[in-house]
Amino acid sequence: MASEPMAAATRPKRPIRWHIAVFLAPAVLVYTAFMILPLAGTLQLSLFRNVEQHQVFVGLGNFRTLFGDPNWSVNFWNALRNNVWFFIIHMLVQNPIGILLAALLSSPRLRFAAFYRTAIFVPTILSFVIVGFAWKLILSPLWGVAPHLMDLVGLKSLFTPWLGKEEYALTALSLVSVWQFVGIPMMLIYAALLSIPDEVIEAAECDGITGLSQFWKIKLPLILPSIGIISILTFVGNFNAFDLIYTAQGALAGPNYSTDILGTFLYRAFFGFQLQVGDPNMGAAIATIMFLIILAGVCVYLFLVQTRLRRYQF
């Protein structure tokens, strides 16, 4: 230790190491004020109920209502089911496409790679409001380009007002969200692919592993940790999702609650909607359940998946 001689010289009066606290303070303070306190506040709020304008402690009463009262539980399970479907579509469509795009982009023979990379990533930085509105217009049966384009290739009969049909609306919106966010897995995988050292690839080529089998046998195992990270990011993002549904379908998440996910359900409960008066306590209870779902998902990943992923040091 460099400070050993000095510390020895001034042993009787050991200086308080202020710098540690000072350097930690900004992060700790900001994180506490904006993340930990609100979270604790939400958890606390979920244990109370407003009775005659007073907050009364009810223990787990709000959760009992949420799961026991069919007026709440039916909506909750519906929202959770929709949210799971939203997540499944992202896992099955967004991430494989992201990996595919990254693999194509990292191919040395591809021209204009930088252009494609930027173009595919741009929707990610667009506001939800723009994306929701633009897709509402594209898919509009009245003025949208979708029915017209499908007409040009003779597929007009396949067009239906997707966003207005119970059976398609959620899937359609999930795919819009996939369109918007496919750039993120693409970028992360692309970076992971680039970081694979050339020696490994060359060694594989010496052993006669090229083309597709090189991707499956050499590259994919090396980018698995990144895929794991992407999965967990998708999971957290999807179970926190709200904006796209709200901008495209409104807070009632129509038709017939078929696009209602936990975020919109929470919004209606917490802030109310039209004549429905907001109930912050029930809202906080839903938020707490969302927090627990996400926490459980992250824990499963951290303790069951990540520990089993093999990492390679180069």
Chain residues in the site for other proteins (CB under 8 A):
53, 70-72, 136, 139-143, 147, 160-166, 249-252, 254-257, 268, 271-279
Q: Which is nearer to other proteins, 113 or 252 (CB)?
A: 252
Cis peptide before 255 (omega within 30 of 0): yes
CB–CB of 147/156 below 8 Å? yes
Q: Which is nearer to other proteins, 163 or 189 (CB)?
A: 163
Separation of alpha carbons 71 and 34, rounded Å: 33
Which one, of 238, 232, 201, lies nearest residue 218 by Cα?
A: 201
Per-residue DSSP letters for 99-112? HHHHHHHT-TT-TT
**Coil, helix or strand for 279?**
coil
Q: Which is nearer to other proteins, 238 or 258 (CB)?
A: 258
Q: Which is nearer to other proteins, 164 or 228 (CB)?
A: 164
Q: Which is nearer to other proteins, 115 or 143 (CB)?
A: 143
Number of CB atoms found within 10 A of residue 252's CB:
16
Q: Which is nearer to other proteins, 145 or 299 (CB)?
A: 145
Q: Which is nearer to other proteins, 118 or 256 (CB)?
A: 256
CA distances for 214 relative to 28, 211, 244, 278, angstroms: 45, 5, 38, 56
Look up residue 170 and give its amino acid: L
Q: Which is nearer to other proteins, 69 or 205 (CB)?
A: 69
Q: Minimum distance from CB of 171 to other proteins (Å)? A: 14
Q: Minimum distance from CB of 254 to other proteins (Å)? A: 5
Separation of alpha carbons 231 and 251, rounded Å: 27
CA distances for 52 relative to 49, 55, 56, 279, angstroms: 10, 8, 9, 13
3-state helix, strand, coil in the chain (%, to 5): 75, 5, 25
Query: Which is it for the CA torsion 136, 167, 122, 109, positive or negative?
Result: negative
CB–CB of 163/169 below 8 Å? yes
Q: Which is nearer to other proteins, 123 or 278 (CB)?
A: 278
Strand partners, 57: 48
CB–CB of 165/256 below 8 Å? no
Q: Minimum distance from CB of 277 to other proteins (Å)? A: 6
| Tokens representing residue 37 in the block | 């306190």
Q: Minimum distance from CB of 280 to other proteins (Å)? A: 10
Q: Minimum distance from CB of 73 to other proteins (Å)? A: 12
Q: Minimum distance from CB of 236 to other proteins (Å)? A: 25
Q: Minimum distance from CB of 252 to other proteins (Å)? A: 6
Q: Minimum distance from CB of 184 to other proteins (Å)? A: 28
Instruction: Considering only CA atoms, give the Rg of the chain.
Output: 25
Q: Minimum distance from CB of 287 to other proteins (Å)? A: 15
